[in-house]
């Protein structure tokens, strides 16, 4: 799968966001027990990377963003960005952060260019019509600059939210479910936009439950479930470490037992002896190599097969497994 202009790994030298022991517990309503939305979260984000925070609904992704961006008051832990501590130097910290929320929360009666210019001014930046035009053109919104937001489609409104978040030239951009509810074409469009932002040096943290999105764009991936970070790793390293290959050989004639030559391979005889199934590899290509070896062994042994159905595990498979396994342990 293509990666959107990956920068060399060695360029990720500085930690620009440092989250330590971040917790958020909501008091229970009535007799209900308190709800822990974030449980002692540690997370460091490197300059220039695209970091995807994966998690099922209700995992704590939006709460984590809210705690960093000022919508949620943490009950514990610390956050610092660009060396500015959130508790003491929140103004400087926030001035360099942009946020695209999950919900399409806008003043629908406002015009596009005014809304974007407002965002720039709100962050204390002087008016700069040329910069606003540049942002609007980049997001294909220039033609709609005089339209009221209520006249725009959902996808267009989402672009306006991105334009608003970019209007003050942030160094760190949070995108909370940027492609939720948008069509495939717009999603691809959005991915390109995010790729361009990274090329401009913007660090991007996106939350998503579309694994494909993380697989397409992210340099590193974090998995969060029930308010806990289960794993943070380089995307390719994660797939290499946790990836698996599954291949099924459909046999021309059923076998009673596995050939002795396959004893060293992680294979099983299934479907009443009609298929040999390989489950192994490590995501580094070893699995593919072993599948090829098995095919040769079968051919040399005179065992005919009609087809091979091979599948490399995706980030989604890894994600589901992680959430199931580690989530179960945490419970």
Distance between CA 280 and CA 285 in Å, rounded?
10
Coil, strand or helix: which one is 132?
helix
Q: And the tokens for 126? A: 């002087």
Binding part of the chain for other proteins, among 38-46, 47-55, 102-110, 279-287 by CB under 8 A, reads 102-110
Q: Between residues 95 and 314, which has the closer beta carbon with respect to other proteins?
A: 95
- State yes or no: residue 45 binds other proteins (CB under 8 A): no
- State yes or no: residue 229 binds other proteins (CB under 8 A): no
* Residues 168, 100 contacting (CB under 8 angstroms): no
Residues 150-179 that bind other proteins (CB under 8 A): 164
Binding part of the chain for other proteins, among 62-70, 136-144, 152-160, 264-272 by CB under 8 A, reads 62-70
Identified binder of other proteins from the candidate list 34, 70, 154, 301, rule CB under 8 A:
70
Q: Between residues 132 and 221, which has the closer beta carbon with respect to other proteins?
A: 132
Identified binder of other proteins from the candidate list 10, 31, 57, 105, rule CB under 8 A:
105
Least Cβ distance, residue 60 to other proteins (angstroms): 12
* Residues 70, 87 contacting (CB under 8 angstroms): no
Binding part of the chain for other proteins, among 70-78, 183-191, 193-201, 243-251 by CB under 8 A, reads 70-78
Identified binder of other proteins from the candidate list 90, 142, 210, 265, rule CB under 8 A:
90
- State yes or no: residue 95 binds other proteins (CB under 8 A): yes
Least Cβ distance, residue 139 to other proteins (angstroms): 17
Distance between CA 102 and CA 24 in Å, rounded?
19
Identified binder of other proteins from the candidate list 34, 44, 92, 188, rule CB under 8 A:
92
Least Cβ distance, residue 5 to other proteins (angstroms): 27
Helices (H), the chain: 61-69, 90-95, 112-122, 129-138, 154-166, 184-199, 211-217, 235-242, 286-300, 315-330
Helix axes 154-166, 129-138, angle to 10 degrees: 140
Q: Between residues 106 and 298, which has the closer beta carbon with respect to other proteins?
A: 106
- State yes or no: residue 69 binds other proteins (CB under 8 A): yes
Least Cβ distance, residue 103 to other proteins (angstroms): 5
Q: And the tokens for 27? A: 């008091």
Q: Both ends of the chain: CA-CA distance in Å?
A: 34
Q: Between residues 70 and 307, which has the closer beta carbon with respect to other proteins?
A: 70
Range 301-308, long-range pairs (CB < 8 A, 24+ positions): 301/259, 301/261, 303/251, 303/255, 303/259, 304/251, 304/252, 304/253, 305/249, 305/250, 305/251, 305/252, 305/276, 306/250, 306/251, 306/252, 307/249, 307/250, 308/247, 308/248, 308/249, 308/250
Residues 110-149 that bind other proteins (CB under 8 A): 114, 118-119, 121-126
Q: How many residues does the chain have?
A: 331
Q: Between residues 63 and 193, which has the closer beta carbon with respect to other proteins?
A: 63
Q: Between residues 108 and 299, which has the closer beta carbon with respect to other proteins?
A: 108
Q: How far is CA 59 from CA 8, 83, 263, in A?
A: 31, 28, 42
Identified binder of other proteins from the candidate list 48, 66, 243, 283, rule CB under 8 A:
66
* Residues 279, 317 contacting (CB under 8 angstroms): no
For binding to other proteins (CB under 8 A), which residues are involved? Answer: 26, 63, 66, 69-73, 90-95, 97, 99, 101, 103, 105-109, 114, 118-119, 121-126, 164
């Amino acid at each position: 799968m293509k990666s959107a202009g990956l920068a060399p790994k060695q360029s990720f030298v500085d930690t620009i966001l440092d989250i330590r022991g971040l917790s958020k517990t909501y008091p229970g309503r009535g007799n209900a027990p308190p709800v822990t939305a974030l449980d002692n979260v540690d997370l460091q984000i490197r300059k220039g990377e695209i970091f995807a925070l994966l998690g099922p609904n209700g995992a704590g992704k939006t709460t984590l963003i809210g705690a960093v961006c000022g919508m949620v008051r943490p009950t514990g832990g610390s956050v610092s960005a660009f060396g500015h501590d959130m508790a003491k130097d929140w103004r400087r910290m926030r001035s360099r952060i942009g946020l695209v929320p999950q919900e399409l929360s806008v003043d629908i009666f406002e015009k596009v260019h005014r809304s974007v210019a407002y965002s720039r001014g709100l962050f204390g930046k002087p008016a700069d019509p040329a910069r606003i035009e540049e942002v609007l053109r980049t997001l294909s919104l220039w033609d709609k600059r005089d339209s009221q937001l209520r006249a725009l489609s959902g996808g267009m409104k989402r672009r306006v939210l991105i334009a608003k978040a970019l209007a003050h030239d942030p160094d760190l951009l949070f995108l909370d479910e940027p492609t939720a509810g948008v069509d495939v074409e717009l999603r691809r469009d959005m991915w390109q936009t995010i790729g361009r932002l990274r090329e401009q040096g913007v660090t991007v943290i996106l939350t998503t439950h579309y694994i494909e999105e993380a697989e397409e764009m992210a340099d590193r991936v974090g998995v969060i479930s029930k308010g806990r970070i289960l794993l943070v790793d380089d995307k390719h390293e994660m797939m290499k470490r946790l990836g698996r290959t599954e291949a099924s050989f459909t046999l021309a004639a059923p076998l009673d037992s596995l050939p002795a030559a396959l004893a060293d391979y992680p294979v099983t005889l299934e479907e009443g002896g009609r298929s040999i199934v390989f489950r192994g590899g490590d995501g580094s290509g070893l699995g593919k190599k072993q599948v090829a070896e098995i095919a040769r062994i079968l051919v040399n042994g005179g065992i005919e097969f009609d087809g091979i159905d091979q599948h490399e595990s995706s980030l989604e498979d890894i994600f589901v497994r992680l959430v199931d396994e580690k989530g179960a342990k945490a419970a």
